[in-house]
Amino acid sequence: MTTRIWIQAAALGLSGVMLAGCSDDADDKAVPADDMDTQEQPADNADAKSETAESDQDTAKDDDKNQDKADQDKTDQDKTDQDKTEAEAVSLIFGTGGTGGSYYPIGGALKSVFEASDLIDNVQVVSTGASVQNINNINDGLNQIAIVMSDVAYDAVNGDNQFDGEPADINALAGLYPNVVQVVATADSGIENIADLEGKRVGVGKVGSGVEQSATKVIESAGISYDDMAQVSHTGYADSVTSMSNGNLDAAFFTSGVPNSSITGLMQSTDITFVPVEDDVADKLLEQYPYYETYTMPAGAPERYDLDEEVNTVAIRNMLIVGSDMRDDVAAELTQRFHDYLASDKISVAALKQFDADTMDENLVVPLHPGAESVYQSVADDDDAADAKDDEAEDADEAEDDAAAAGDKPDADDADSAES
């Protein structure tokens, strides 16, 4: 009994010691589970927020990359579409003039020149009423390229005369040969100057043609008008020649290159004289209109009527024009091929031999097409480079000549020694 009591007492003492080992110190350091969770939660939220922010940034970067790619794809597609469009061949309707003038055969000659290009599918050359109709046709989309006189083109872009209030949207590809105002009278008409047309029967060209435009200005510069004439006939070249041959006209205007085949034919059957446009009449024209220039038909030139005496007159340059909406690559191609053709020995129309290819971009009275301008700039750069090369070669030759003259030129043995 006593022994059992002692064992129980010992057990109770041991329990007290063990409880003392888990006392105040441990309790002070211990943290309740709920409190521990509460303190650790902010750290977990920060990590979560950081991960969310990083995820958002990654998403934004991905969106930016996708947008950049989409933009680049669109740019590439636009460029592809543009390249495809620019590579497409086009067909052109070429407005010229009457079959008896110079415009029509020029169109025929340039047809094959232009069609040799991969950019030009077909060129249809059509006979028209010339300058005014050609410009109207381009405005209406009926022609894409045409030959016109500078005076009509000047009026067109400025909305004057027949284009009053309706300026044409045209560009120049090139300046051509001078269109010479040739006033021809029968030898027995007594007409010696422009003022003498008063009281006479005169052919002034078709209504609205470039010929009539120049005829009107020349007549007005002489101080007379249609009302002062016995008869004004709006006839083209062929009909004017027939009427003069039959004695039904005293004089007629031919504004074209020299020679004009209609005039040459008239000279075979009728005695004629060329009426000069000079002195006060020419001065007034040059002062009032920027597209006129003086011109002299030489004497004794078989290819130019073989005249006994030279004839002073005025001229208006012809132009090759297109609509301003023509593609730059097409305009450049037409200009380049025309320039190369003029520099060749294959020119088949006499009028195209009357000017230099280097002057194609000079004295133009309408805006130059950007495509054509790029060609002229390239030609100018090539010329400058060639001139610089020639200058260097010339300087080298002069230096060598100077050295030789001074006795400083090394002989062959010295040169060999220097090389060794």
Q: Mapping DSSP to helix (H, G, I), strand (E, B) and coil, where does residue 182 land?
A: strand
Q: How many whole angstroms from its chain centre is CA 65?
A: 40
Instruction: Please give the CATH topology (third level) of the domain spanning 90-380.
Output: D-Maltodextrin-Binding Protein; domain 2 (3.40.190)
Where in the chain are the domains? 90-380
**Percent of the chain residues past pLDDT 90, beyond the cut:** 60
- Which of the four pLDDT bands, split at 50, 70 and 90, describes residue 403? confident
Residue 63 structure tokens: 């969106």
Mean per-residue pLDDT, 394-419: 64
Contact 323, 277 (CB under 8 A): no
Q: 76-113 pLDDT, tens per residue?
A: 665 555 554 557 999 999 999 988 778 999 999 999 99
Percent above pLDDT 70 for the chain? 75
In angstroms, the CA 194 to CA 275 distance is 7
CB 258 within 8 A of CB 179: no
Which pLDDT value is given to residue 399?
78
Over residues 173-195, the mean pLDDT reads 96
Q: Is the per-residue pLDDT at 340 higher than 50?
A: yes
Residue labelled with tokens 């934004």: 60
Would you say residue 199 has pLDDT above 80?
yes
**Nearest to 146, CA basis, from 366, 322, 410:** 322
Report in angstroms the alpha-carbon separations of 265 from 1, 115, 206, 248.
Answer: 168, 33, 20, 17
